[in-house]
Amino acid sequence: MRQATGRSVRWPWTPAARERALGLTLVGLAIVVVVGPFLWVLANSFKSPIAILTGAWNFVPTLDNYTDVLSSKRSDFVHALATSLTVATASTTIVVAIATLAAYSLHRFAWAQWVVRGLLAWTLAFHVIPIITMVGPWYVAFRQLGLYDTRSALVLTHVVINLPVALWLMMSFFRALPPEIEEAAMVDGCHSLQAFWYVVLPLVVPGLIATGVLSFIFSWNEFTIALNLTSQANATVPVVVSKFANDYEVQHGPMAAASMLATLPALVLMFAGQRFVVQGLTLGAVK
């Protein structure tokens, strides 16, 4: 379209600028969707019961909810925190150790391809099985073995459900490692164990960190198994948080405060190992 003067009308934005504006808008909406609920729960953790029930935007912050969660005699949050830390740390250590050795063996040793592919396919299939379908057999087995309502049972089950992802992650890191590095170490006099320990393992430290962070977070947030295989004595943090809501009362303030405290370990680990987690999840996507 042209004006009477014959000069063309220029749009205020170029196509590139419009695409950038659209992209920023979508990112902003995504941030609101993700961060909005978190901020809402955070605000509720500092509200009094009246302010929560009335939905007040202007309120006087209070720490009563955090005090109730951390020091009240009716709250089991501190004990559950110790249980979750113990279970998540122990299961993560076992998962990383097994996944590292298994991935190294599958990638470096002379296994038949059908064995490697079959094992990886089985772990992938096992990972997509709903956890609730395995709770019943585990319940019966742990009852007969005397492990029901113990931290050991939680550690074993968390190792089982987190090992497939850990194995796939470590396989991706070992595949990205040139085999010539290990061969050069063996030429220099190292045997297989020394080459693995002093040469290969330090090079896959990012993979160990990524696998450890994801395994810890998955174990920390696990709810279904802990709910069915433990009682109040060995309940984990997600189970304790859910018990602030029952048939007769919903303690919105303490539940919000407990939720905020429960996210701290996962957030700290995720921020600390974010670079390695992203590298592990995208490794091999671009050659």
Tens-digit pLDDT profile for residues 9-41: 555 667 777 788 888 888 889 888 888 888 899
β partners of residue 250? 245
Tens-digit pLDDT profile for residues 109-141: 878 888 888 888 888 888 788 888 899 999 999
Is 245 in a helix, a strand, or coil? strand
Instruction: State residue 66's pLDDT score.
Output: 93
CA atoms within 13 A on the CB side of 43: 14
pLDDT lower than 50: segments of the chain: 1-2, 284-287
Write the DSSP assignment of 26-51 as a string of letters. Answer: HHHHHHHHHHHHHHHHHHHHTS-HHH
Instruction: State residue 5's pLDDT score.
Output: 53
Rg over CA atoms, the chain: 26
End-to-end Cα spacing for the chain = 47
Instruction: State residue 1's pLDDT score.
Output: 45
Residue 62 near residue 46, CB atoms below 8 Å: yes
Residue 81 Cα distances to 74, 200, 215, angstroms: 15, 36, 17
Distance between CA 111 and CA 88 in Å, rounded?
Answer: 32
Instruction: State residue 2's pLDDT score.
Output: 47
Instruction: State residue 285's pLDDT score.
Output: 43
Spatial neighbors of 5 by CB under 8 A, at least 6 apart, are: none
Distance between CA 274 and CA 282 in Å, rounded?
Answer: 12
